[in-house]
Structure 1
Amino acid sequence: MSERGKITDGMSEEELNARHAEKMAKKKVAREKIMATKTGEKGLVIVHTGKGKGKSSAAFGMIFRHIAHGKPCAVVQFIKGAMSTGERDLILKHFSDLCQFHTMGEGFTWETQDKARDTEMAQAAWEKAKELIRDERNSMVLLDEINIALRYDYLDVNEVMAFLEAEKPAMTHVVLTGRNAKDELIEFADLVTEMEMIKHPFRSGVKAQIGVEF
C-alpha cells in the first residue's frame, strides 16, 4: 500500500472530502501566486510539428478562437492543394470577412514531382504570408505546412526567422505547422508543440476520412 493509501485508510467520506478540499485550496493559492507574475503580453511565434496527427487541426482551433472573438486573422496553405477541406469551406462560406484564406500550394511534393514548380509556389506563398503578417489588423496568421517547404529548402529558414524578428508586429501571432520543423526555428519560437504518433488507423488500412483528416 502507498503512503497516501496508509494516510487515508479508514477515513470517512466526509473526512476524505475535507482533505481533498484543503489540498485543492492550497493548489489554488499556489497557482494564483504563479499567475500573478504572468502579466506580459506579446505576439507569439508558435510551431506545431512532429509525426503525429493534429498539427494543422490544433492551429485551426486557434484560428476559430480568433474568429469567435471577432479578431481578424489569415491562413496561408503552403503545400496542400485544391482538395476541399472542412476548415477552408467553413471559413470561406461564413467567415471570409474575418479570416483571409489563401491556398497557394499544388499538393505535396511527391504528387507534383517538380521541385522548381514547388519552389516557385512556396516563394509565392511566402510573399503572401509576409503581406498578411505586416498587416497589423491581423491578430494571427497561420502558415500551414510551411515546415514542409522549409524542410525541402523551398524557403530559407534564416530568411523566415529574420523577417519574423524584424517585421512581425509586436502583437501578431504567427503559427507555423508541419512535421520536421528545423532546429533553428524550434529554438527561435516562443511556443513549440510536438505531436507524437502512438497509433494511426492508416497503418491498419483505414483511409483519410471526412471530418477527421479533412
Structure 2
Amino acid sequence: MSESTPHTGEQNEQTQEDRAAERHKEKMARHKAKVDAAIARAQEERGVVIVLTGTGKGKSSSGFGTVIRTLGHGYKAGIVQFIKGTWDCGEATILKQLDGLEHEVMGSGFTWETQDRERDQRAFDAVWPKAKAMLQNPELRTVMFDEITYMLAYKLLDWDTLKDALDNRPKDQNVILTGRGAPSALREYADTVTDMKMEKHAFKAGVKAQAGIEW
C-alpha cells in the first residue's frame, strides 16, 4: 500500500493537468468560434473613418503607425498636420523619407501660441484645399488629419464642410482623424473611435518634454 500511494498521487496530479488542459482547449475553441463568426459577418469592403481622441498620450503616434502600416503594404498615403506644423516631429521626419507619402503642414504651429485667430484662419485656408484634394485622390489608401479636432473646436473648420469632404472621398479610402475633444457628431459619424484616457503624465509631474517621446 505504501508503495502505491505515490503512484496514485501522480495519477491524480496527471488527471488534474489533463482536466486543466481540456478546459483550456474548450475555452480557446469557444473563443475561436466567436472570432470566426465575427469574421464571417464582416464582409463589407470599404474604407473606414477612425477617430483617435481623448486626453491620453499616443493619439498621433497611433495614427502615424497606421500610416506606416499602409505604406508597408505598398499603398500610398497622405498626412496633414494641422497643429504641430512648426515642430520638428520625429515621425513625420521618418515618414517623409518613405516612398508613397504626401505630407502637408499648417504653417502657424500651435493655435494657442499664435493667439491670432485671423492668422490661424489664413493658415488653415491655405492648407485645407490640399487636405481636401487628398480626400479626392483615389491613389491614397489612407489619409491622416493630425489634430483636426482643434480646427473644429476653434471654428476654423465647420463640421458640415468636413463631413461633406469625408462623404465624397473614394470608397476604399481610410481616414484617420486625431485630437482631443472630438465632437459628438464626429464620434457618431466615425466607424471606429478610440478615446485615450490619461491616468498619469510625466509632464504634469514636472518632467521636461523630450524629443523622441513627446514629438
TM-score where L is the length of structure 1: 0.90
Which structure 2 residues correspond to residues 181-200 of structure 1 after superposition, within 5 A?
181-200=182-201
* Contact in 1 for aligned 2:80/2:103 (Cα 8 Å): yes
Which structure 2 residues correspond to residues 50-61 of structure 1 after superposition, within 5 A?
50-61=54-65
Instruction: Work out which of the residue numbers 63, 82, 89 in structure 1 matches 2:86.
Output: 82
* Contact in 1 for aligned 2:80/2:131 (Cα 8 Å): yes
Amino-acid identity (%): 43
Task: Give CA deviations for 1:22-48 in whole Å, capped at 9, x if unaligned.
Answer: 221122123212221111111111111
Whether 2:207 is the aligned partner of 1:206: answer: yes
- Aligned mates of 1:44, 1:147 — CA distance in 2: 18
* Contact in 1 for aligned 2:108/2:119 (Cα 8 Å): no
- Where does the alignment leave 5 or more consecutive residues of structure 1 unmatched? 1-9
SS of the residue corresponding to residue 139 of structure 1 reads strand
Letter matched to residue 193 of structure 2 = V
Instruction: Work out which of the residue numbers 133, 150, 166 in structure 2 matches 1:164.
Output: 166
Letter matched to residue 142 of structure 1 = M
- Aligned mates of 1:89, 1:82 — CA distance in 2: 12
Residue 178 of structure 1: aligned partner:
179
Residue 4 of structure 1: aligned partner:
none
Task: Give CA deviations for 1:175-211 in whole Å, capped at 9, x if unaligned.
Answer: 1111011211111111111111111111111122222
Shift of 1:104: 1.7
- Aligned mates of 1:75, 1:139 — CA distance in 2: 11
SS of the residue corresponding to residue 128 of structure 1 reads helix
* Contact in 2 for aligned 1:77/1:105 (Cα 8 Å): no
- Where does the alignment leave 5 or more consecutive residues of structure 2 unmatched? 1-12
Whether 2:133 is the aligned partner of 1:131: answer: yes
Q: State the number of aligned residues.
A: 202
- Aligned mates of 2:136, 2:43 — CA distance in 1: 25
- Aligned mates of 1:45, 1:125 — CA distance in 2: 21
- Aligned mates of 1:31, 1:199 — CA distance in 2: 34
Letter matched to residue 175 of structure 1 = I
Structure whose alpha-carbon radius of gyration is higher: 2
* Contact in 2 for aligned 1:157/1:182 (Cα 8 Å): no
Residue 144 of structure 1: aligned partner:
146
SS of the residue corresponding to residue 134 of structure 1 reads coil
- Aligned mates of 1:146, 1:125 — CA distance in 2: 12
* Contact in 1 for aligned 2:135/2:165 (Cα 8 Å): no
Task: Give CA deviations for 1:89-119 in whole Å, capped at 9, x if unaligned.
Answer: 11122x0x31111112321112111110111
Shift of 1:86: 1.2
Letter matched to residue 208 of structure 1 = A
Residue 123 of structure 2: aligned partner:
121
Structure 1 runs (4+) deviating above 4 angstroms are: none
